[in-house]
Amino acid sequence: MLKSPGAFASPGGLGHEPAFGSYRPGRISNEYSLFFPRGKGGSGNSTCHQEPEYSGQPLQFFNPRVSANHEYFSTSQFSLPALGSFGTARRRFFHGPGLNNWDFALQKVAHVTEGTSVEVRAEFFNVFNHAQFKNPVGDFASSAFGQVTAARDPRIGQLALKFSF
């Protein structure tokens, strides 16, 4: 937070905090998304979820906003392995959707008297309201396999007023 006027200060002396943002390419799809490890189901039970057979063809990725059924990747390259054999799709072999998140805050402290002050603060989270999808469903036995079924919070704003004495 900047306390003195500088590059982020306006001519009226209003001190600003710089915007904070981040872009991450996405988490590696893990047991919560793509292919549960052998011997452990998604709910932690002891049922065995087997990895599917992977054809080796390149995966095609889709934009979940506009794809049919909110698909993130094509599932046609995957099939049920032969009975008694292990599938060839390994765990964690691609990344899930990335994050593009920008948080922004403005703050002004006004001194009323020598011992009192008023602080006004506005904070915005995901200020540009980018859709931030969670990892796709990775349970091959699920009818939603390869689909994005959830997203993180949309834009959120909050205002604060603090009187100090």
Model confidence over 13-41: pLDDT tens digits? 444 444 555 555 554 444 333 444 343 44
Write the pLDDT tens digit of every residue in 101-152: 889 999 999 999 989 999 999 999 999 988 888 888 887 778 888 888 998 8
What is the 3 state secondary structure string of 23-58?
Answer: EECCCECCCCCCCCCCCCCCCCCCCCCCCCEECCCC
C-alpha to C-alpha distance for 93 and 34, rounded to whole angstroms: 9
End-to-end, the C-alpha distance of the chain in Å comes to 22
Q: What is the reported pTM? A: 0.59
Q: Is the pLDDT assigned to residue 72 strictly greater than 60?
A: yes
